[in-house]
Structure 1
Amino acid sequence: MNAPGNVHRLPNRETALKSMYDQISAKSMFPFWAQSTDVTNDEIKQLMGGKKAIPYLWRCAEDIEPILNQAVELITMDDSERRSLVLVNPGLAPKRATVSTMYTAYRLNDANEIMPPHKHSPSAIRFGLKGKGNFTGVDGEDVVFGPGDMVLTPNDTWHNHGTVGGEQALNLSVLDFPLVETLNAVHFDHNYMEEENGVMVKKKQQTPRFTSDYSQRIYGYGGLMPRFASKEKRGAGFSSPMFVYRWDMMRELLERHKDWDGDPYEALMVEYIDPTSGGPVFKTITFFAQMLRPGERTRPIRQTGNLLVAPFEGRGHSIIDGERFDWKEFDTLAVPGGTWCEHVNDSDKDPVFLFVASDEPTLKKLDLFKKWGRDKNDEIVQLA
């Protein structure tokens, strides 16, 4: 008789194991017990072997713009209300995700195209790249924006996009769509209606309820909050009430501090915030402008947060887990969480400006945000 606790080894154990594993798989389950030396049934490797985002660079001038220019000729507003290219990370394909929690999309609107209003649960921004006539109407504020301006289209807030002024315009979007999709919380609504003479009627464009300079006029003074506007609810109330952030103000702030030491890991970095709370503009994702002075190189940094980096001015390169990526203005670089990354300004005369998106707010709320750096002695230090 075998002693209690002894494992019975059947003569046909390998055949029986294979049969058991096949049954487990057929019944949509997963075996999670001690790691096997059998490569086929290495449970740890299988459990951790899901799809992961990889560092990747999309080139705007070479790859994105030629396709969008062709799409303007082939895809009319009668065909689709959208003409955007979503950047799909090769490590996550076919999922529409540039990193695991966010995606970037480039949008080219032909002259004087205005799409009907819609709203959705994912939070989004538009960042101007080319043209002075990018347009977003958001919650009754008609915003016309140019290169470097950032416009919010928050969770559950009516908005519509397009161009004004008789010329094409290019912008990029960042959405937390993959995160919201993972949480099974995606919803869209295209049935925009307004009340006219006591009757709700469907409209193709929002009627302005605020002046076009409302965001800047009310919320654009740091440290000063008009109390007479504090009770005005904007959108669904889930985001910053300031819907447009102008590049000239951000650029001026960064230039004013160009002689500061800055941070060895992030150079000069400024976060876009909700002026009423000091927190990020959205509860799930946040945005930064980052300036690298001529010849500046950041020290390697690793964090649990995912980053999308869009160079806006200048050119340089980044090293991600030992791989070099050379970029220039309007490209997009995916920096997945957990990778080591450093940025380099290749010019000894001109600064570089980067537009950066991060899922840091989500990770902080879940107590999962951590950040490490390598100091001048190449020792790893915890930064956050």
Structure 2
Amino acid sequence: MSISADSTTHESVAAENAVPEPTPEEAAQLEQLYQDFEAGNLIPLWTEIADLMPMVPSPKAVPYVWRWNDLYPLAARAGDLVPVGRGGERRAIALANPGLAGTPYATPTLWAAIQYLGAHETAPEHRHSQNAFRFVVEGEGVWTVVNGDPVAMRRGDFLLTPGWNFHGHHNDTDQPMAWIDGLDIPFVHYADAGFFEFGTERVTDEATPDVSRSERLWAHPGLRPLSGLQDTVNSPIAAYRWEHTDAPCANNCFSRTRATRPRCPRATPPCVTPTRPPAGTSCPPSAPNSTACGPALPPRPCAKSVPVSGRSSKDAAPWC
């Protein structure tokens, strides 16, 4: 018999393969069998398979959007009222999916939160078996110190804090800062694999370098250092910078398929930011190579004319 997952359930298959009703003697023996199962802390699969192995998933989490403009004011109020330090460890407010019955989880496998650190505050060091990432929505001025390596946190950056690495955060400015944390807390909780250890009250290195030691060693595309090559279970790069993502994405000729690419610019290409522009500056459309966005780049040569699907050969033109 063929079984179609979209129209069949465990119950319907069981009904199609129903066995005769047990005799009174067999029913008494079955009753005793189930009592003996219970006494021995045993549960038969045939009574639980529909819940343990459903035909299709039945997720409880629901789509939901948390707006930054709603989150930040609440986090700022917490910053005025709730201290950061030992006990709570972090001033972090979790995103609780309304479909997950009051648990502090954004999804069944992700704990996510907005974390707020006031001016000149320090979140003390600790470590745990849960892995973490941080995404900076706005602002700068906080350094996260991971195993003694200060890593700058700036708008658009994506930072990694692997499990069981000591880490703390310190704000070196007169302004507060907030960001989004994500940890695999639900997964570790379900696996009963949680460990936690306190570290120092202050971060172990209060330096504020623009580039962390891990980035100086590892964050050079196409190059591999000759030292520091010990085996690790995680990426040795602590931060993936927004400017490194934004620069190639800003050049549309490299971000689209050939059939949808724009024609190669005849003058200068769009502004590509090799380094983070000063705060408050932008690249105006009328001046694509504004010095605010970095030095002007020479025009790139176009490839030889090629026909493009959906275009006649007479319309063929140089494409990037």
TM-score range normalised by the length of the shorter chain: 0.5 to 0.7
Q: Of 22, 44, 69, which aligns to 1:8?
A: 22
When residues 74 and 148 of structure 1 are mapped into structure 2, their CA distance, relative to the original with a 3 A threshold, is same
Identity %: 26
Structure-1 residue corresponding to 2:52: 47
1:193-342 equivalences in 2 (<5 Å): 204-207=202-205, 213=211, 214-227=213-226, 229-231=227-229, 237-257=232-252, 260-261=255-256
When residues 48 and 91 of structure 1 are mapped into structure 2, their CA distance, relative to the original with a 3 A threshold, is farther
After superposition, the C-alpha distances for 1:72-97 in whole angstroms (9 at most, x for unaligned) are: 12211257331111223333334443
CA–CA distance in 1 between the matches of 2:29 and 2:76? Answer: 59
Q: Alignment RMSD, CA only? A: 3.6
Structure-2 residue corresponding to 1:32: 45
Cα deviation, residue 215, structure 1: 3.0
CA–CA distance in 2 between the matches of 1:51 and 1:23? Answer: 32
Letter in 2 for 1:32: L
Aligned length: 236
Letter in 1 for 2:225: P
- 2:104 counterpart of 1:126: no
Letter in 2 for 1:52: P
> TM-score of the superposition, structure 1-length normalised?
0.52
Structure-1 residue corresponding to 2:66: 59
Structure-1 residue corresponding to 2:159: 151
Greater percentage in helix: 2
Structure-1 residue corresponding to 2:83: 76
Cα deviation, residue 143, structure 1: 1.7
Cα deviation, residue 100, structure 1: 2.4
SS of corresponding position for 1:67: helix
When residues 212 and 248 of structure 1 are mapped into structure 2, their CA distance, relative to the original with a 3 A threshold, is closer
After superposition, the C-alpha distances for 1:116-141 in whole angstroms (9 at most, x for unaligned) are: 11111111111111211132011121
Q: Structure 2 unaligned runs (5+)?
A: 1-18, 259-320
When residues 167 and 19 of structure 1 are mapped into structure 2, their CA distance, relative to the original with a 3 A threshold, is farther
1:91-170 equivalences in 2 (<5 Å): 91-170=99-178
Cα deviation, residue 62, structure 1: 5.1
Greater percentage in strand: 1
Greater Rg over alpha carbons, structure: 2
CA–CA distance in 2 between the matches of 1:16 and 1:178? Answer: 42
After superposition, the C-alpha distances for 1:332-358 in whole angstroms (9 at most, x for unaligned) are: xxxxxxxxxxxxxxxxxxxxxxxxxxx
Q: Structure 1 unaligned runs (5+)?
A: 34-40, 193-202, 264-384
CA–CA distance in 2 between the matches of 1:126 and 1:80? Answer: 19
